[in-house]
Structure 1
Amino acid sequence: MIKMILQGMIVGIANIIPGVSGGTMMVAMGLYDKLIHSITHLKSEFKSSMKLLLPIFFGAALAIVILSRLFEFLLQNYPIPTNFAFCGLIVGSLPFILKKVKGSNPVKSSNWIPLLIFFAIVVGMAVIGEDSGSAQRLQVDLLQFLVLLFVGIIAAATMVIPGVSGSMMLMLLGYYETILSYVNQTVDAITSFDIPAFINCCMVMIPFGVGVVFGIFAIAKLIEWILMRWETSAYYAIIGLITASPVAILLKTDWSQSSIMMIVIGLISFIAGWFVASKLGDE
């Protein structure tokens, strides 16, 4: 139980960081197939599914609530070692995913073409994407409610796909810092018992949260369907997404603070991230 909560926290942390994929972290820890199965068979296998989903989702939510402010601070003040640490987590996932395609022919067109296509998609997103921008306060009307619902669906769908960063998609949609700010405002409102502020935050977080839940369940069924029909090609596409993620992160990193010492610390952070991924992954 404790290990699953910790694994869920790693997934939650990954979903906070632009360029880092929560789905990749699921792959790294051997959770991905089991989690997709539990989501898509929730009704028919309710008890066993909830036994896995509850600690994972609890850990993810706990990490997002507790650590969103910390990682906002780290990315603003120590972007190089922070991003290197998450590159290490991603690289640590590769041995697990490579086992999925062991024995296959990598030069087969149905394998290397999806790998290259999805590698290019992630790097292209990093190149053309803008920074998260400044947080903005939202006046929620019916149109904004529908927009937040749509943003939640897109974010959740991309969070589930290994190698694709839901938070990077939020950046591309211009909602990353806004949602992160409202998460922190919600925590502040709860801890200070500020009811009006809490209600205001709920007007944003509820439609976004509903979109997230819908997106997770909808995309999980699609992924399961794809894996049942084109498993090897799908995993090569995932490898392309995973290998592109560190490139995307480094492209988005603020290098203005770079120095020899900062690079050394970054390399140590990379090794630490790789170590964590290898220990939390299933053999």
Structure 2
Amino acid sequence: MAETSSLTRGKNVTVEWIIRLLKGTLVGIGAIVPGLSGGVLAVVFGLYEPLMKFLANLQTKFLQNMRFFLPVGIGVALGIVGFSSVVDYAFTHFAAPFTWLFIGFISGTFPSLFVTAGKQGRKTWHWAVLAAMAFGTFVFMRWMETINNVNLVPTFGTWIVSGMLVGLGLIIPGMSPSNFLIYLGLYQPMASGIRQLDFGVIIPLTLGLILIILLLAKLIAWLFKKAYPFMYHFILGIVVGSTAAIIPGGVNGWTIAVCAVLFLLGAAGSFALAKLDEKYPHESLF
């Protein structure tokens, strides 16, 4: 009996590990796809709040938290480094279908995200916050598309700033660092550097990312503690607005059917992942 229980627990741990690895991979891919945000995917996959709490309280249950987030970190690295070429090719040749796949990923988790946002109650003004942030995010992202690009010379310093932008994309759901990097003329050099494992690019990027996350994580965790319903509706509004803003236009012919199928596959996949995650609950981290 004890042996059976031990085997079951071992199986559960393995499944949980694989789920978090997959989530981390999708977050990493989202961080480098123009128009998307790794932070949005971290929110919809239930990683955002516990990650902010962990980074804000590194001394609390450090080893337990490290074990929990290790597969997530591996997945993020795999998504960014391992899939940069795939993302670049897919976005260059199949931008609309590829974007609709990720819109499906995000949309499939809306029901569970909405329930999470209302876990501590939902007042009328929370709806107003959600609507205002959705509208504001949509308008801001559309405006960003109209700005003429500039071209910065890649240096160690600019790569640190680029890493900070990528970090902000994780800290601030809905902010797409890729859009800013495209505007600054740094996206293609960054993607090329990552793809070729150029540590002159990767090291300062990583330093900038870690720096901005450590600086802002404690503030975000404090806001969740003091104003949970507000924060979640604020973030949910950003998720809704940013998702609406990346809907591609000019889709016609057979591409419409392909986009519809990929949207449904993405939604079904993320919904199934959320249900699988519920089936294998992990211990409370804090």
What's the TM-score, normalizing by structure 2?
A: 0.81
Other-structure match for 1:176 = 187
Structure 1 position 89, deviation (Å):
1.0
* Matches of 2:116 and 2:214, distance apart in 1: 23
Unaligned runs of at least 5 residues, structure 2: 1-16, 279-286
* Matches of 2:203 and 2:228, distance apart in 1: 35
Other-structure match for 1:80 = 96
User: Contact 1:133–1:177 (CA<8 Å) still a contact in 2?
Assistant: no
Other-structure match for 1:102 = 118
* Matches of 2:149 and 2:83, distance apart in 1: 19
Taking structure 1 as reference, are residues 72 and 106 closer, same or farther at Cα in structure 2, changes over 3 Å only? farther
Other-structure match for 1:4 = 20
User: Contact 1:86–1:273 (CA<8 Å) still a contact in 2?
Assistant: yes
Structure 1 position 182, deviation (Å):
1.3
Structure 1 position 134, deviation (Å):
9.4
Q: Root-mean-square deviation (CA), in Å?
A: 2.5
Equivalent of 1:261 in 231, 254, 263: 254
Q: Percent identity?
A: 28
Taking structure 1 as reference, are residues 221 and 75 closer, same or farther at Cα in structure 2, changes over 3 Å only? same
Q: Is the counterpart of residue 31 in structure 1 residue 24 in structure 2? A: no
**Aligned pairs for 1:48-63 within 5 A:** 48-63=64-79
Structure 1 position 83, deviation (Å):
0.7
The SS at the match of 1:30 is coil
Other-structure match for 1:89 = 105
User: Contact 1:135–1:181 (CA<8 Å) still a contact in 2?
Assistant: no
User: Contact 1:123–1:245 (CA<8 Å) still a contact in 2?
Assistant: yes
* Matches of 1:8 and 1:133, distance apart in 2: 33
Structure 1 position 70, deviation (Å):
0.7
* Matches of 1:213 and 1:131, distance apart in 2: 30
Taking structure 1 as reference, are residues 72 and 146 closer, same or farther at Cα in structure 2, changes over 3 Å only? same
Q: Specify the code of the residue in structure 2 equivalent to 1:211.
A: G
Residues 50-75 of structure 1 show CA distances to partners (whole Å, capped at 9, x for unaligned) of 10221101011012111111111111
The number of aligned residues is: 259
What's the TM-score, normalizing by structure 1?
A: 0.82
Q: Is the counterpart of residue 273 in structure 1 residue 284 in structure 2? A: no
More displaced 10-residue stretch of structure 1: 115-124 or 208-217: 115-124
Structure 1 position 172, deviation (Å):
4.1
**Aligned pairs for 1:144-163 within 5 A:** 145-163=156-174
Structure 1 position 211, deviation (Å):
0.3
User: Contact 1:12–1:22 (CA<8 Å) still a contact in 2?
Assistant: yes
Structure 1 position 272, deviation (Å):
0.8
* Matches of 1:132 and 1:275, distance apart in 2: 35
* Matches of 1:44 and 1:239, distance apart in 2: 28
Other-structure match for 1:194 = none
